[in-house]
């Protein structure tokens, strides 16, 4: 049986501005689908295709790029499929419009198409940028205490607590304070 485990830091994994855009889009889709106040001169199937495609991409984009990807894709897929399948029965219950399987198909095809493009962009662009930033951050954090050996020998002090003017003041060897970060493979397993 499928069990969805929510990350402990779920609110931190969401982007508030995209969540607000998602809420506005849902409201727009509800007004468009449940009332006759807005008339869009486009095919009904094209409206379903684009409407649910944009909904799926906004739902996916609501998560930060650093959120666990398995959780993001499972959640996005499940919620999008649920919205695609339930929109037509709700429309049939709440309005005079009839249930139409072609609309459900347009919903699912639009969401799947747009999510495929989002997946490609995420995999080939966004995650590479995230990995590059993570590597840069790890290489910058590789050594702490002193910036360079030359600066330490010159008595470099930037005024922060814990940064000493020289190795002699610390009564330790410089090699004792230069600490390596864990290997990249260990960082990847701890991030999951």
pLDDT along the chain (192 residues), means of 10: 59 86 92 80 90 96 88 93 92 86 95 94 86 75 52 53 48 50 51 52
The first and second tokens of residue 116, run together, are 């495929």
pLDDT value of position 94:
86
pLDDT at res. 146: 46
pLDDT score at 150: 56
Question: What is the C-alpha to C-alpha distance for residues 170 and 146, in angstroms, rounded to an integer?
Answer: 12
3-state secondary structure of 14: strand
Cα 3 from Cα 143, distance rounded (Å): 41
166/177 Cα distance (integer angstroms): 12
Q: What is the CA radius of gyration of the chain?
A: 26
Q: What is the pLDDT, as a whole number, of residue 106?
A: 96
* Residue 153, pLDDT score: 55
pLDDT at res. 82: 95
> What is residue 3's predicted lDDT score, i.e. its pLDDT?
60
Q: Report pLDDT for 76.
A: 94
Q: Say how far apart CA 64 and CA 72 lie, in whole Å.
A: 9
Give the residue from 72, 88, 74 showing the smallest Cα distance to 18: 72
Query: Does pTM surpass 0.75?
Result: no
């Amino acid at each position: 049986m499928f069990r969805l485990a929510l990350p402990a830091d779920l609110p931190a994994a969401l982007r508030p501005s995209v969540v607000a855009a998602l809420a506005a889009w849902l409201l727009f889709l509800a007004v468009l689908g449940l009332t006759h106040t807005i008339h869009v001169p486009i095919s009904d199937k094209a409206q379903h295709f684009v409407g649910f495609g944009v909904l799926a991409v906004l739902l996916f984009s609501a998560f930060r790029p650093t959120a666990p990807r398995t959780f993001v894709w499972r959640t996005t897929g499940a919620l999008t499929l649920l919205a695609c399948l339930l929109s037509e029965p709700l429309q049939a219950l709440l309005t005079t419009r009839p249930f139409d399987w072609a609309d459900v198909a347009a919903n699912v095809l639009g969401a799947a198409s747009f999510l495929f493009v989002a997946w490609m962009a995420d995999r080939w662009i966004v995650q590479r940028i995230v990995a590059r930033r993570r590597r840069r951050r790890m290489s910058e954090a590789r050594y702490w205490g002193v910036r360079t050996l030359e600066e330490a020998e010159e008595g470099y002090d930037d005024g922060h607590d814990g940064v000493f003017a020289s190795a002699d003041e610390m009564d330790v060897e410089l090699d004792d304070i230069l600490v390596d970060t864990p290997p990249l493979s260990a960082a990847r397993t701890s991030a999951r």
